[in-house]
Amino acid sequence: MTLRVAMPRLLPMTIVAMVALLGVKSMLLVRAVLAEVARPGVLAVAGSAVVPAAQAAPVSARNGVPVVLPSVPPKPALAVSEKKLLLDLRARRAALDARARALDERAAVLGATEQKLKTRLAQMMALQKKLEVLSAARQQRRDARWTGLVKVYEAMQPSDAAKIFDGLDMKVLLQVLARMNERKAAPVLAAMQPAKAREATDELAAMRGAAAPHG
């Protein structure tokens, strides 16, 4: 009697071993992918390819399976013309600000100058009024002296006054005759030397004509 020992089948055991090995490899691959995802700058896409984060869309893992998330479009960069326009606008704004400051400074200087001129003008007007008052007072004193002298000649006899008038300077004589009463001046002129009286009459007429207002 011959004993037969049952030999296990090699094929099923080989399949089981391959399945187990595949499972272990799959777990190791998933862990490697998760590690790559966790590392900054690197993302896993479609469960196998590993690309830089700057070139791949962000992903997240759900139940150990990588999921591709929608990518956010980057903000478009400014064109060269837009940058130039922006720089031109900034430069123009700076120029306008500088011009506004210059105008403000010029307005302040003009305001200060105007105030100084107003003060100076007020001082000059006050000085002019003071000079006018002094001139009027001086003229009053001069007129008072002439008036007193005229009264002296008017009180004299015409012949006596005529003798004095013949020797007076013409400017002095004219000032006296111009202030004398005409009825009292006429006899004095009649008693004077004819040439002197005629010259005094002509000068007195010319002086009164120049002083009269012209129509």
Q: Which residues contact 150 (CB under 8 A, 6 or more apart)?
A: 176, 179, 180
Mean pLDDT of 77-100: 86
Residue 123 DSSP SS3: helix
- The pTM for the full model equals 0.40
Q: How far is CA 86 from CA 98, 197, 208, in A?
A: 18, 98, 83
CA–CA distance, 172 with 189 (Å, rounded to integer): 15
178 closest CA partner among 156, 155, 145, 200? 200
pLDDT of residue 49 exceeding 50? no
Q: Taking Cα atoms as reference points, which of 24, 63, 61 lies closest to residue 45?
A: 61
Instruction: Give me the mean pLDDT over the 93-110 stretch.
Output: 91
Q: 97 pLDDT band (50/70/90 cuts)? A: very high
Ranked by mean pLDDT, the top range of 5-9, 52-56, 114-118, 203-207 is 114-118
Burial (CB count within 10 angstroms: exposed 0-12, middle 13-18, buried 19+), residue 38? exposed
The two tokens of residue 145 are: 């002296």
86 C-beta neighbours (distance < 10 Å), count: 11
**Separation in Å, CA 16 to CA 12, 24, 25, 26, 119:** 6, 12, 14, 15, 115
pLDDT of residue 2: 44
What are the CA-CA distances from residue 140 to residues 145, 151, 208 (Å)? 9, 16, 20
> In this predicted model, what pLDDT tens digit does every residue of 119-164 receive, in sequence order?
999 999 999 999 999 999 988 888 888 888 899 989 999 999 999 9
Q: Which carries the bigger pLDDT value, residue 14 or residue 177?
A: 177
**CA 86 to CA 79: how far, in whole Å?**
11
> Do residues 200 and 192 lie in contact, with contact meaning Cβ atoms separated by under 8 Å?
yes
**Alpha-helical regions (H) of the chain:** 10-38, 80-155, 158-167, 170-179, 182-191, 194-211
